[in-house]
A and B are shown apart, each in its own frame.
Chain A
Amino acid sequence: MAIVQSKRKTLATVFKITILILLVLIFFLPLVSMVVTSLKTREELFAVPPIVFPRVAQWANYVSAWTMVRFGKFLLNSVILSVFYTLPCIMSSCFAGYAFSRFRVRESRGVFLVVLATMMVPYMVTVVPLYLLITKIGLTDKRWLWLLFGMQGAPFLIFLFRQYFSTIPLSFEESARLDGANRFQVFFFIMFPLVQTGVIIAGIFAFQWSWADFLQPTLFLTGEKVPLAVKLARGYVDQKESLLYNVGMAGLLYYTLPIIVLFFTLQRRFISGLLAGGLKG
């Protein structure tokens, strides 16, 4: 009986692994296509019959991707915008999450519902009029706007921080308060260090959002100040304005790389932190 049971269990595991490997292979295909395309010559891209792998890997495409658009400059733009957005966004969401988890005032629930309701607002409904308003008062091409954009936090992160704070026992603060610390001292010296995982997760999310955001920079910034998302959205073109798929893929790989690195260095804490604090409760 026991042997039959364990045999069935092994069979089930083998079955699961097979499906998982199949799934992973399918999920990998677009990425493989991306890398392979970036290493082909133009002739190989349009070869008839189509070929799978390039004869010689064209690493030169990666050089062109960097030099054709002054990549370094736009990369710096992206970093500046993302940092400008991420820092205030973390702080503001953390503050708000703390407020919602700790201060029992009558309207707290109502205000929290307003925060959640803002998730329902299509972002273009706010961003497009904002763009018209801001250009009207002449504030075009200002990168510091991102500091303000971050200041409103993000509903999802506020929710996340609220969950994290509500797992911390009240007694931690009470003893500090008895020792004479004020609200802000309690927050900065006791509570904030206790939600490090939340800060990392919020940081990754906020960074990734602003790194990937196309709409706001395309509306608020022009020419030399646009980030990679805007610059690369149109693809790489040669003098005749025809698209260079291979160089384009190389450029997009550069653009995606920081996110990949960020994700893989922090992913263990990231996913388990999301599972532990963010979703339950």
Chain B
Amino acid sequence: MRRNRREVERRTSFYLFLAPWILGFLLFQVLPIGWGFWTSLTNRMAFSTNLKFIGLANYVKLLQDPEILYSFRTTFVYALLHTCLAIVTGLIGALLLEREVPGRGVFRTILYFPYMIPIIAVGWIFRIFLDRDTGFFNVVLLKLHLIPSAVAWLAEYPLGSIVSLAIWQSGWSLIIFLGGLSTIPNELYEVSTIDGANYFRRFRHIALPLLSPFIFFQFVSSMIYAMQTFIQSFILNPRPLRGEMLFVSPPPRETFFVMARGFFEVTGKNRFAYGLSLLWMLFVVVMLITIIFIRLGGFLVYTEVEEKR
């Protein structure tokens, strides 16, 4: 009896502390997701009068549209490039800053810093940085005689331009990997050095396995994040844009990611139901990708404890 009362008290406190989150979760997650799914099964437009239930017709239409399928493909390719390159950059940075290096804190801060800059600003910085005529990137490359003449990076390499922006903002993986490296006991390195292991063997057989859970975590969360890229597509649109047109004119095919399309369908074309079904499809794809990677992760990640079969 007494035990029971304590149990009830504990549970009540648990839910009291969790109450704001639960309320927010119901209001801003469950409700819109559910309603959004229901709406995606209708023909709702901005000013439609006769709302009809049309089942999965929107989804069928999406799956038959080669542009949409292409969009999913480029989004996935972009997310993969974004994730892998950001991880490699972060890993190199973390390995360089791992041991006592003079000015460690300063380097760490500078490499992390771009991550803090708001995406709108980053978009515009890169739009101007990579511009053919006014861009600093061309000027530097020309001065170093690395390219013969100015290149219109945004128009010729739209996907690469957005990826470069992602690399610049890879500070987050740097921090994660620095955290991961700091969990590796020093003795392991010392022992291996005495045994005659060189730097690369130490990396391959000590740092990499012990870091693998962090790399895996970073891989999955970065994939989820990168699959949702949208504003970069519009700001780095290579067409000569004028103010108000920025979110009205579609970006080139290679960088018209699924999110950008969804945003465009809903706000630009007022096709609510169609846009929502596109977003819902992305939701399902992200979920599937996450589950697949988590499954695969079990094989790739090193763990101390041997798993029971």
Contact = CB atoms under 8 A, between A and B. Distances in A.
B41 interface: no
A34 B17 contact: no
B153 interface: no
Contacts of A99: 13-15, 17-18
A108 B14 contact: yes
Contact of B259 (A33, A120, A122): A122
A124 B134 CA distance: 34
B107 A122 contact: no
Contacts of B214: 279
B283 A153 contact: no
Interface in A94-130: 95-96, 98-99, 103-105, 108, 111, 114-115, 118-130
A29 B137 contact: yes
B25 interface: yes
Contact of B120 (A30, A88, A232): A232
Interface in A19-77: 19-20, 23-24, 27-34, 36-37, 45-46, 50, 52
A30 B168 CA distance: 9
Best-surrounded residue of A96, A103, A122, A212 (most CB of chain B within 10 A): A122
B102 interface: yes
B109 A267 contact: yes
A31 B125 contact: yes
A130 B243 contact: no
Given A34-B125, A275-B179, A92 B24 contact: yes
Contact of A148 (B27, B113, B118): B27
Contact of A243 (B23, B92, B243): B243
B13 A103 contact: yes
B139 interface: yes
A211 B118 contact: yes
Given A99-B14, A153-B21, A274 B179 contact: yes
Given A105-B10, A252-B125, A271-B175, A121 B180 contact: no
A204 B242 CA distance: 34
A27 B243 contact: no
B224 A125 contact: no
B128 interface: yes
Contacts of A274: 175, 179
Contacts of A229: 118, 120
Nearest to B217: A279
B128 A124 contact: no
A211 B121 CA distance: 11
B242 A241 contact: yes
B71 interface: no
Nearest to B36: A129
Interface string A255-281: 110011001100110010011001110
B31 A133 contact: yes
Nearest to A237: B243
B101 A125 contact: no
B17 A23 contact: no
A255 B180 CA distance: 33
Nearest to A208: B116
Contact of A33 (B105, B129, B286): B129
Contacts of A242: 242
Contacts of B136: 29-30, 32-33, 36-37, 52
A46 to B, nearest CB: 6
A248 interface: yes
Nearest to A124: B279
Contacts of B109: 264, 267, 271
Interface stretch (B49-57, B228-236, B300-308): B228-236
A183 to B, nearest CB: 5
A27 B110 contact: yes
A139 B28 CA distance: 15
Nearest to A38: B128
B224 to A, nearest CB: 6
Interface string A74-100: 000000000000001001110110110
Contact of B128 (A33, A132, A211, A232): A33
B179 A260 contact: no
A153 B20 CA distance: 8
B87 interface: no
Contact of A119 (B14, B17, B221): B221
Contacts of A252: 120-121, 124-125
Contacts of B166: none
B28 A122 contact: no
Given A91-B20, A126-B28, A127-B32, A233 B133 contact: no
8 tightest A-B contacts by CB? Answer: A152-B24, A129-B36, A33-B136, A212-B118, A279-B179, A99-B17, A103-B14, A237-B243
15 contacts: A19-B96, A20-B97, A33-B125, A33-B129, A120-B290, A122-B279, A125-B279, A126-B29, A152-B27, A212-B119, A215-B231, A236-B243, A243-B243, A260-B116, A264-B109
